[in-house]
Structure 1
Amino acid sequence: MANRPIVHDIFEPRTSTWQYIVADPVTKAAIIIDSVLDYDSATNTVFTENAEVLLSLVQENDYKVEKLLETHMHADHLTASRYLQVQLQKSQASPPQICIGKRVSQVQEQFAMRYGISKQEYVNAFDHTFDDDDAFQIGQLEAKAIHLPGHTPDHLGYMIGSNVFCGDSLFNVDVGSARCDFPGGNASDLFNSVRRLLSLPDHYRIWTGHDYPPGGDVRKDPLPYYTVADQRKANKHLKDGVQEQEFVQWRRDRDVTLAEPRLMHQALQVNVRAGRLPQLSPSGDRLLHIPLKVRGEMW
């Protein structure tokens, strides 16, 4: 009988993000999925309180982290992957690889151009990019990277045993689905990605990237997963019986009403660099470019 992975679900409440440490119980090999680097908008300060929680869990369980996985280029939180890599290489024989899907290059190029990021800061920033359906090992556990486009074109899910860590491909049943209006996003692609997920056996667990409860509040007891059967029966946007055209139209109508994510500009500029911060300026500062919006005619 195949080993069952140990799954630690760690909720980061500032950005309502689920992070996961998945480990092989036999070898103690582990991966970390979608880690969060803390950011204080009021002071423009990054800090590592959340990342230290992840590192403590790794240390307490004597895990060896082999990979730091990103499901996609996040626009709602900064990744802690680079910080974790630097810290973990102090206690491991080799540092973990920072990994993402192969289509990340088109996302990097687009946002690097928008924010004036030089190629040397983002080309080869990731240690490994997965092809579609690439298989890999976590100790004795078998895992696979599956392409789930729609929210973003580079989006991956990670299948480990009877678990899929789907990022923003599918949310909890009372939340439904993610927006598709980012560059390269596509509601038809998302519909088909979700149909792929919901064709899995009923008992498979789909672990999501966020828990955004209706109404915008932080849920008292956030939920990290639902089964395939749960999602097929009750997902408010994509349960059984919903047709593609119906979903696409609803998603388009909904997306035009949404504000941009609160940390979008900060997140994208760090995440295209795989978690590295901008290089120091001649004055010794690390600078981010924030677009200025002008209302009306100023001059």
Structure 2
Amino acid sequence: MQPTVQPFFESVTGTVTYVVFRSGHPECAVIDPVLNYDPKAGRTSTTDAHRVVEFVRQHGLQVQWILETHAHADHLSAAQYLRHELGGAVAIGQHIRTVQSVFKTLFNLERGFRVDGSQFDHLFREGEKFSIGALAAKALYVPGHTPADTAYQIGDAVFVGDTLFMPDVGTARCDFPGGNARALYDSIRKLLALPGDTRLFMCHDYPPDGRKPEWETTVLAQREHNIHVHDGITEAQFVRMRETRDATLAMPVLMLPSIQVNIRAGEFPPVEENGQSYLKIPLNAL
């Protein structure tokens, strides 16, 4: 079964949000929605998320799921805005609990912040099957970039989150807390063991100079052309490359604000006694 996939590219963070549905059926899923954030002003906006809302309404769709592939470190999630506007259950992989535990300590979050994933409406188990109306779907556990990454296989399409990028860009970094290059290699080989014509949809694109943003490729194209992990690259070679490369990378601009929101399923931190919500910046901790 081949779902219809509508992408929405957010150029500031290079993130792609997807609306996925079966043609002729109203049920849909939204994957990895972006909340715009101005780090200089500390101000959020819903410009890009509203594009998704307009598309869903114009096409008479009904949001059944709002799926997060992981707790992103490069953009804030618009999951709560979309749920308020369109409904749907916000879901993520069950290993989000590990990420919540790490960052509750790092940010010294409020005592009442729970590390059981209960901020989300549903936590997927490895291999758990679910449906989007008439579409059959399955959650695939693909750790490495973080310990909690989940990909979503929907018909002939897989939404890979931060595992693979387009073949000329390579693979995701593994130096965040709980990341592991060996685990990422195993996760990628798991994805690349799927049939060669399986469509793969990226969470991000950071195009080289001269190329427009792209986000759809295939298993075969990745196996033949991915600059980091094409067929013939051993685990040892990949780990050496990934760890060496990661050591040169700066932290994402939005890592500290985004994680605090995303481990809450897109909710802001609790309002304080002055009526204002705040994000924390831990000094000299990373």
Normalising to structure 1: TM-score of the pair?
A: 0.91
Residue 112 of structure 2 aligns to a residue whose secondary structure is: helix
Is 1:241 matched up with 2:239?
no
5+ long unaligned stretches in structure 2: none
Identity of aligned residues (%): 43
Match of 1:92 in 2: none
Tell me which of 194, 204, 209 is aligned to 1:210.
Answer: 204
Q: TM-score, normalised by structure 2?
A: 0.96
Letter in 2 for 1:132: E
Query: How far does the alpha carbon of each residue in 1:251-280 deviate from its partner, in whole angstroms, 9 at most, with x for none?
Result: 111111111110000000001111001121
Distance in 2 (alpha carbons) for counterparts of 1:135 and 1:159: 9
Matched, 1:150 2:144: yes
Q: Which runs of 4+ in 1 moved over 4 A?
A: none
Cα distance between partner residues in 1 of 2:111 and 2:147: 20
1:222 aligns with 2:213: yes
Instruction: Please say if residues 18 and 224 of structure 1, whose CA atoms lie closer than 8 Å, have aligned partners that are also in contact.
Output: yes
Q: Which amino acid aligns with 2:165?
A: F
Q: How does 1:26-41 map to 2 (within 5 A)?
A: 26-41=24-39
Write the distance in 2 (CA, Å) between the matches of 1:97 and 1:247: 37
Q: Could you tell me whether the CA contact under 8 Å between 1:18 and 1:34 is conserved in 2?
A: yes
Pair 1:128 & 2:125 matched: no
Counterpart residue number, 1:83: 81
Map Cα deviations across residues 124-178 of structure 1 (whole Å, 9 max, x no partner): 1001000000000111110000001111111010001111000111110111000
Q: Please tell me whether the aligned partners of residues 122 and 272 of structure 1 are also in contact (alpha carbons under 8 angstroms).
A: no
Query: Highest Rg: 1 or 2?
Result: 1
Aligned to 2:50: 52
Is the CA contact 2:73–2:254 (under 8 Å) kept in the aligned structure 1?
yes
- CA–CA separation in structure 2 for the residues paired with 1:96 and 1:122: 22
Please tell me the root mean square deviation across aligned C-alpha atoms, in Å.
Answer: 1.4
Matched, 1:196 2:190: yes
Q: Distance in 1 between matches of 2:169 and 2:176?
A: 19
**Contact 1:26–1:140 at 8 Å: present in 2 too?**
no
Partner of 2:241: 250
1:171 match: 165
Structure 1 residue 293, shift from structure 2 partner:
4.2
In the alignment, which residue of structure 2 is the partner of 1:185? 179
In the superposition, relative to structure 1, how do residues 29 and 119 fare at CA in structure 2: closer, same or farther (>3 Å)? farther
Q: CA deviation at 1:229?
A: 1.0
Q: 1:119 to 1:99 in 2, by over 3 A?
A: farther
Alpha-carbon displacement from aligned partner over 1:184-210 (angstroms, at most 9, x marks no partner): 111111111111111111111110110
Ranges in structure 1 where 5+ consecutive residues have no aligned partner: 89-94, 295-299
Q: Is the Cα–Cα contact under 8 Å of residues 106 and 282 in structure 2 kept in the other structure? A: no
C-alpha contact (below 8 Å) 1:31/1:66 kept by paired residues: yes
Instruction: Answer yes or no: is the 8 Å Cα contact 2:3–2:156 preserved in 1.
Output: no
Further displaced range: 11-20 or 281-290: 281-290
How far 1:120 sits from its partner (Å)?
3.4
In the TM superposition, residue 291 of structure 1 has moved relative to its aligned partner by 2.3
Instruction: Quote the Cα distance in structure 2 between the aligned partners of 1:255 and 1:103.
Output: 23
- Indicate the residue corresponding to 1:106 in structure 2: 98
Alpha-carbon contact 2:27-2:133 (below 8 Å) kept: yes
